[in-house]
Amino acid sequence: MAFITDIKTFAVLGTGVIGAGWVARALACGLDVVAWDPAPGAEAALRQRIANAWPALQKQGLAPSASQQRLRFAETVEVCVRDADFIQESAPERLALKCELHAQISAAARPDVIIGSSTSGLLPSEFFVDAVCPERCLVGHPFNPVYLLPLVEVVGGERTAPEAIQAAIQIYQALGMRPLHVRKEVPGFVADRLLEALWREALHLVNDGVATTGEIDDAIRFGAGLRWSFMGSFLTYTLAGGDAGMRHFMTQFGPALELPWSYLKAPELTESLIDSVVEGTGEQQGQRSIAELERFRDDCLLAVLGAIKTTKAQHGFAFNE
């Protein structure tokens, strides 16, 4: 079956932080966006989030037809999706809710329209179980802020058609994203599994009094985090092996894998640990509001992305390599 890839109307269901990020990205690309969320005050909150993100999108560069005025809020799921060329669901991570919502969405949407879910851990074969035309249903897992970070993990379920995966990849690329096809359904997919391992280690370090939250963040942002932004772990370690490359690195540093450097299992989430994390991050936040920190984050990301793009071009790399 042929699926629509020429997108003019983008539907978003669920308008929290992630859903709002999808709305902002689609609007910045010059699309018409229809959004739905049953929460009281959802429309006003969404429009405020878009307004807060818009300065960063302007700095990044808007499509000629981009406008916040192209956002329309729908009162029902059916109205939201009936004329959409692509659908992105970003509802809370509850399996029963996802199952019910996707049954509604897929019954009301045209059969050649791809339906993506922003879930970060639920498996598509589970929550698309009652969907109509499940061959067009898949996961498109983004990263916050969705309107700036290009990575989106594309994961198919047991009944997802290969053509739907390729159509979704094409659509996400047209939105300026870097799709990563996750070949198997696995909880947490790829990126969140890596982040979860780091998060567990960080909680142990706080819990054991080794370091504060701010010190741990410093260890990341002034060290490996700078390398990760343009090279990742495997290529970084290849360089650590010198001219002999990765094989030498694995031979030289492989024995360290036997050392007790990693806890892996998460610490018990005690009230004391929660208090330590909250107090530490409160000191880091200081008097800045979340909106102020979001704008700071966006400007930093734009600077890093711009620097990487320029330097890659100088060395003959495409930005998405």
**Of 5 and 235, which is predicted with more confidence?**
5
Residue percentage of the chain with pLDDT more than 90: 74
Residue 89: closest CA among 130, 120, 68: 120
Q: What is the pLDDT of residue 164?
A: 98
Instruction: Provide CB contacts within 8 A for 261, sequence distance 6+.
Output: none
Cα–Cα distance measured from residue 258 to residue 172, given in angstroms and rounded to the nearest whole number: 41
pLDDT tens track for 72-121: 999 999 999 999 999 999 999 999 999 999 999 999 999 999 999 999 98
Q: List the alpha helices (DSSP H) in 157-242.
A: 162-174, 191-207, 213-219, 225-228, 232-240
Q: What is the pLDDT of residue 253?
A: 77
Cα–Cα distance measured from residue 92 to residue 168, given in angstroms and rounded to the nearest whole number: 22
Q: Are strands 137-141 and 151-156 parallel, antiparallel or unpaired?
A: antiparallel
Task: Note the pTM of the prediction, 2 decimals.
Answer: 0.90
pLDDT tens track for 294-316: 989 899 999 999 999 899 899 99
Residue percentage of the chain with pLDDT more than 70: 100
β-sheet bridge partners, residue 71? 33
Q: Are 17 and 144 in contact (CB under 8 A)?
A: yes
Residue 182 per-residue DSSP state: E
pLDDT tens track for 134-163: 999 999 999 999 999 999 999 999 999 999
Q: Does the pLDDT of residue 130 top 90, yes or no?
A: yes
Please report the domains of the chain, with CATH numbers, ordered by start residue.
9-182 (3.40.50.720), 191-286 (1.10.1040.10)
